[in-house]
């Protein structure tokens, strides 16, 4: 029987050191006595949340957040059979950057959510008009928007207004540097919430599933 | 004292007549001239006119000959995407794989239109202001430029996974950076801002920085023929202050995410602090609030010089209104005069 606390600690340590082989080894060990999807929940969710929280506190770097998410995303994609990858039965969810050419934030949140077995569509970079069209067409229930540039963050207001006017029932969650530097900005642009890091994206999405938002 | 004397005095960690103010407004020049951002940056003459107007309007202690970050990418053959309400972005990365690094050639600075334009405005500004006020030039660090050259995620993958290719790219970028900085000195820049956000502990852990960005900065700055200011573009720096000083920089741009008092203690006698007004929040500040924030910054970092008041990102957002910029300038004039006796009297 693998000591779960010990495995969790070692897994997080391996992620922080960007030691892919060690992370894979610990994950495999954990899978020896439980389903991969359960092992993923035990190891991956908490590790990524703690690394994300430490980034906000200045105790971890963005490169560690990115690489950790990527390692975990690869683990999920390669080690859990496709039938198990949507076990959480996510709401219909998509992620995009809005008129912004900085894609790293979106990539990190996407990896983190996938590593936590959420299913979501990656819209890539979109104009406000394109994004609104896709949200309607795909009947998206949760829209995550990542922004690095202030003008892009401000454009969320237009997306929110147009979707509300069209009576589209979608929750908009935002994240990225402008929102981190001004903690009232998400309200100003009429988002439904903001995540200061990728771990908070997991919490926001989980709250929707749990009916808390 | 004129602006040059004021800045030099504070950089010697001595108190000048007043805290110098570097209000790093670049795009606002377009507003002054009634031009779009794209039009404004299309001619050196516009930038010269805009900077001189802004300097006088807000009593700024530097001339900022900075156009936009991706101008270097444009010089390397990448595309730049303009927008009406913010700085231009770099478009699709032009390094798409290892072979592109192996065959990469830096641009010929004097024969590259966009860079020649920057050099032209620099020499025109120098002719106008002489030695009365410092002219700031800007380079992207060789270590941070790849974010625009190849995309942030691809660059982090390279940094962690391809050490030899990474070194190859650094050598190419270093040669370009040195030549670009020195060309700006030759045409009149007083100092160069070395923009290096990837070196910030916000972006990479310190142990990786020591093996990469730190070494790149030491090699690069040693070949630049003038004073440099390392700017981490609102990233944290507290844990690498000693290393930044060791690279040869004399100024560090600090983040609003870190406490200015702690930064002052860490930088005392080693580095002049440039910062740390929150440019994103600034957009919605009220005049009284602005005065309070400026006063607080001066109280935390102003004593014994070694402090220049500025925003924390190195570029004031387009959305920041005139009244806030005036309020910052007025508050600096009101509370920044040395000696700062009001700090001890608890005013």
Query: Are A116 and A202 in contact, with CB atoms under 8 Å apart?
Result: yes
**pLDDT at res. A83:** 46
Residue A35 Cα, gap to closest chain B Cα (Å): 30
Q: Quote the CA–CA distance of B208 and A9 in Å, as a whole number.
A: 22
Pairing mode, strands B80-81 and B89-90 = antiparallel
Q: Quote the CA–CA distance of B194 and B190 in Å, as a whole number.
A: 13
Residue A172 Cα, gap to closest chain B Cα (Å): 21
Rounded average pLDDT over A69-98: 75
Contact A64 B280 (CB under 8 A): no
Query: Are A128 and A172 in contact, with CB atoms under 8 Å apart?
Result: no
Chain A hits for B201, CB-CB cut-off 8 Å, are 58, 61
**pLDDT at res. A31:** 86
Q: Quote the CA–CA distance of A126 and A98 in Å, as a whole number.
A: 5
Tokens describing residue B250? 């004399």
Q: Is B259 helix (H, G, I), strand (E, B) or coil?
A: coil
Query: Which ranges of A80-127 would DSSP assign to H, the alpha helix?
Result: 104-115
Q: Quote the CA–CA distance of B14 and B268 in Å, as a whole number.
A: 11
**pLDDT at res. A182:** 96
The reported pTM is: 0.94
Q: Quote the CA–CA distance of B224 and B241 in Å, as a whole number.
A: 20
**CA B141-B7-B60 angle, 5° bins:** 85
Burial A26-58 (b: 16+ CB within 10 A, else e): bbeebbeeeebbebbbbbbbebbbbbbbbbeeb
Contact A178 B280 (CB under 8 A): yes
**pLDDT at res. A84:** 44
Chain A hits for B81, CB-CB cut-off 8 Å, are 101
Tokens describing residue B216? 């790149």
Higher pLDDT, A5 or A138: A138
Per-residue confidence band for A87, with pLDDT thresholds at 50, 70 and 90: very low
Per-residue confidence band for A86, with pLDDT thresholds at 50, 70 and 90: very low
Put simply, whether A157 touches B (Cβ < 8 Å) is: no
- Rounded to 5 degrees, φ, ψ at A142 are -130, 125
DSSP B61-92: SSEE----TTHHHHHTT--EE--SSS--EE-S
Cβ-based neighbour number of residue A210 at 10 Å: 8
Residue A203 Cα, gap to closest chain B Cα (Å): 22
Task: Please name which of B106, B94, B107 lies closest in space to residue B149, comparing C-alpha atoms.
Answer: B94
Contact A151 B279 (CB under 8 A): no
Question: What is the overall mean pLDDT for chain A?
Answer: 88
pLDDT tens string A35-51: 887 888 888 888 988 99
Chain B hits for A18, CB-CB cut-off 8 Å, are 160
Largest CA distance in chain A: 55
**pLDDT at res. A211:** 60
- Beta sheet of A171-175, edge-to-edge order: A121-126, A93-98, A142-146, A171-175, A193-194
Query: Are B123 and B187 in contact, with CB atoms under 8 Å apart?
Result: yes
pLDDT tens string A160-191: 999 999 999 999 999 999 999 999 999 999 99
**pLDDT at res. B289:** 98
Please tell me which residue of chain B has the smallest CA distance to A18: B160
Nearest by CB to A107, from B83, B153, B202: name it: B153
**pLDDT at res. A88:** 52
Put simply, whether A54 touches B (Cβ < 8 Å) is: no
Bond from prior residue into B71 cis (ω within 30 degrees of 0): no
Q: Which CATH architecture has domain B3-20+94-117+140-345?
A: Alpha-Beta Barrel (3.20)
Query: Are A153 and A185 in contact, with CB atoms under 8 Å apart?
Result: yes
Per-residue confidence band for A81, with pLDDT thresholds at 50, 70 and 90: low
Put simply, whether A186 touches B (Cβ < 8 Å) is: no
Per-residue confidence band for A2, with pLDDT thresholds at 50, 70 and 90: low
Per-residue confidence band for A90, with pLDDT thresholds at 50, 70 and 90: low
Chain B hits for A67, CB-CB cut-off 8 Å, are 156, 160
Query: Are B109 and B137 in contact, with CB atoms under 8 Å apart?
Result: no
Residue A58 Cα, gap to closest chain B Cα (Å): 6
Residue B198 Cα to chain centre, angstroms: 14
Nearest by CB to A63, from B89, B204, B258: name it: B204
Q: Quote the CA–CA distance of A99 and A155 in Å, as a whole number.
A: 8
Chain A hits for B213, CB-CB cut-off 8 Å, are none
Which helix (H) or strand (E) segment holds residue A166: the answer is none
Query: Are B90 and B73 in contact, with CB atoms under 8 Å apart?
Result: yes
Q: Mean pLDDT for each 10-residue chunk of chain B (347 residues)?
A: 98 98 97 98 98 98 97 95 93 92 95 97 98 98 97 96 97 98 98 98 98 98 98 98 98 97 97 97 97 98 98 97 98 98 83
Q: Quote the CA–CA distance of B212 and B159 in Å, as a whole number.
A: 9
Residue B93 Cα, gap to closest chain A Cα (Å): 10
Higher pLDDT, B6 or A116: B6
Counting Cα atoms < 13 Å in the Cβ hemisphere of B343 gives 17
Best mutation target, B68, B73, B85, B277, to test chain A (most A CBs within 10 A): B85
Bond from prior residue into A93 cis (ω within 30 degrees of 0): no
Q: Is B274 helix (H, G, I), strand (E, B) or coil?
A: strand
Burial B136-164 (b: 16+ CB within 10 A, else e): bbbbbbbbbbbbbbbbbbbbbebbbeeee
Task: Sketch the domain layout of chain B as residue ranges.
Answer: 3-20+94-117+140-345
Per-residue confidence band for A80, with pLDDT thresholds at 50, 70 and 90: low
Put simply, whether A58 touches B (Cβ < 8 Å) is: yes
CA distances from A50 to A1, A11, A59, B238 (A): 25, 12, 10, 22
Please tell me which residue of chain A has the smallest CA distance to B91: A101
Which helix (H) or strand (E) segment holds residue A84: the answer is none
**CA B336-B338-B343 angle, 5° bins:** 70
Residue A178 Cα, gap to closest chain B Cα (Å): 6
């Amino acid at each position: 029987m693998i000591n779960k606390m010990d495995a969790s600690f070692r897994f997080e340590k391996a992620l922080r050191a960007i030691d892919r082989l060690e992370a894979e080894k610990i994950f495999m060990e954990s899978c020896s006595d439980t389903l991969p999807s359960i092992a993923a929940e035990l190891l991956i969710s908490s590790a990524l949340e703690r690394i994300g929280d430490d980034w906000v506190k200045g105790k971890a770097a963005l490169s560690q957040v990115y690489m950790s998410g990527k390692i975990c995303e690869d683990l999920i994609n390669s080690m859990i059979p496709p039938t198990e990858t949507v076990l959480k039965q996510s709401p219909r969810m998509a992620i995009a950057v809005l008129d912004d050419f900085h894609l790293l934030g979106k990539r990190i949140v996407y990896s983190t959510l996938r590593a936590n077995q959420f299913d979501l569509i990656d819209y890539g970079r979109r104009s406000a008009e394109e994004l609104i069209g896709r949200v309607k067409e795909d009947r998206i229930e949760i829209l995550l928007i990542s922004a690095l540039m202030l003008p892009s963050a401000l454009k969320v207001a237009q997306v929110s207004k147009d979707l509300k006017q069209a009576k589209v029932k979608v929750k908009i969650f935002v994240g990225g540097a402008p929102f981190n530097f001004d903690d009232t900005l998400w309200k100003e642009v009429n988002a439904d919430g903001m995540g200061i890091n990728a771990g908070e994206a997991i919490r926001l999405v989980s709250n929707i599933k749990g009916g808390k938002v | 004292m004129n602006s040059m004397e004021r800045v030099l005095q504070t950089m010697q960690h001595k108190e000048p007549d007043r805290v110098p103010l570097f209000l790093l407004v670049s795009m606002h020049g377009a507003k002054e001239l009634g031009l779009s951002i794209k039009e404004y940056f299309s001619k050196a003459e516009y930038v010269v006119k805009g900077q001189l107007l802004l300097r006088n309007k807000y009593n700024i202690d530097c001339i900022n000959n900075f156009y936009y970050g991706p101008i270097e990418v444009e010089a390397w053959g990448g595309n730049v995407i303009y927008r009406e309400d913010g700085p231009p972005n770099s478009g699709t990365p032009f390094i798409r794989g290892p072979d592109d690094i192996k065959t990469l050639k830096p641009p010929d600075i004097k024969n590259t239109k966009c860079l020649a334009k920057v050099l032209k405005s620099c020499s025109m500004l120098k002719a106008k202001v002489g030695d009365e006020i410092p002219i700031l030039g800007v380079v992207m660090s060789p270590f941070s430029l790849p974010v625009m050259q190849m995309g942030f995620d691809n660059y982090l993958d390279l940094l962690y996974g391809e050490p030899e290719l990474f070194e190859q790219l650094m050598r190419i970028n270093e040669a370009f950076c040195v030549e670009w900085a020195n060309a700006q000195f030759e045409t009149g820049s007083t100092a160069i801002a070395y923009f290096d956000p990837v070196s910030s502990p916000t972006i990479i852990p310190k142990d990786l920085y020591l093996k990469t960005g730190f070494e790149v900065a030491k090699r690069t700055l040693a070949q630049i023929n003038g004073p440099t200011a390392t700017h981490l573009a609102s990233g944290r720096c507290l844990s690498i202050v000693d290393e930044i000083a060791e690279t040869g920089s004399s100024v560090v741009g600090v983040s609003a995410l870190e406490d200015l008092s702690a930064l002052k203690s860490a930088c005392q006698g080693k580095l002049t602090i440039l910062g740390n007004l929150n440019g994103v929040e600034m957009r919605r500040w009220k005049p009284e609030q602005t005065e309070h924030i400026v006063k607080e910054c001066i109280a935390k970092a102003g004593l014994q010089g070694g402090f220049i008041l500025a925003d924390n990102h190195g570029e004031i957002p387009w959305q920041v209104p005139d009244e806030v910029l005036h309020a910052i300038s007025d508050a600096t004039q009101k509370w920044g005069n040395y000696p700062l006796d009001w700090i001890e009297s608890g005013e």
